[in-house]
Structure 1
């Protein structure tokens, strides 16, 4: 079985967009737009993931509630029930879990829980 770190997409990805929970949503939106990323990871002071904000979160938790992105911190709209993977995890396990639980992004952490990367369903599309 192939592990996450064996995927060519893992090795060639741009650095993960990561922000502190008190960052204003407008800052994250600008970064997502500039980098064409569908998600950002919210990290604590030790660079450990504590949440994620996706395009879906922006739609449902910000826009649908008419919140102002310039005054709304990421902590107010992030998904807190965060799943994280490790580089040695097997790809099929995550493909199945992401499909069954209907989420599209999974942060990848090291043994200490610090953010290393993020993988999307699209990164796994070519897996057979």
Structure 2
């Protein structure tokens, strides 16, 4: 099974100069926790997550409308291609500890997004070549594992 068979499209996106209040509104409207940032040719530049917005507002003591997506974007960005096998994408998610992957064409243009939800839905439908529930659970366990944090002495 290929990513193109399960990915979400069209996907909402913004540019680096979009203010965080507008990004948060888009997340609410699209019922998602990530918005890809693209350039003027819709090539993927980065992503911004709901967590990025919360941390920026809390730590910078500025209003969301006074900060831009480009100021608080996540990085690095991990992606997959529409013709990638779903198990390859699940492996990237497990290794990189991410819940979602933007889907880009060979030129880097954003064409969709795939999330753990998409994998869970196809596993529940028991489609052929879909990841098993155990594979999805192992990916989720890996993603949720606490990362070691260096503490300054």
Please, what TM-score do these two structures have when normalized by structure 2?
Answer: 0.74
Work out whether residues 13 and 37 of structure 2, in 8 Å CA contact, stay in contact via their aligned partners in 1.
yes
* Alignment-derived partner of residue 109 in structure 2: 114
Alignment length, in residue pairs? 123
Shift, 1:29, TM fit: 0.4
Deviations 1:54-111 (A, max 9, x none): 1221222333433321110000111131111110111112212212321111111112
Taking the TM superposition and a 5 Å limit, the aligned residue runs for 1:12-91 are 13-91=8-86
Q: Name the CA distance, whole Å, in 2 between partners of 1:110 and 1:103.
A: 20
* Alignment-derived partner of residue 98 in structure 1: 93
Work out whether residues 9 and 113 of structure 2, in 8 Å CA contact, stay in contact via their aligned partners in 1.
no
Q: Name the CA distance, whole Å, in 2 between partners of 1:97 and 1:111.
A: 17
Q: Which has the larger radius of gyration?
A: 2
Please, what TM-score do these two structures have when normalized by structure 1?
Answer: 0.87
Measured on the aligned residues, the alpha-carbon RMSD in Å equals 1.5
Question: Which segments of 5 or more consecutive residues in structure 2 lack a partner in the other structure?
Answer: 124-130, 133-153
Shift, 1:14, TM fit: 4.7
Larger helix percent: 2
Q: Secondary structure at the match of 2:83?
A: coil
Question: Which segments of 5 or more consecutive residues in structure 1 lack a partner in the other structure?
Answer: none
**4+ residue stretches of structure 1 with deviation over 6 A?**
none
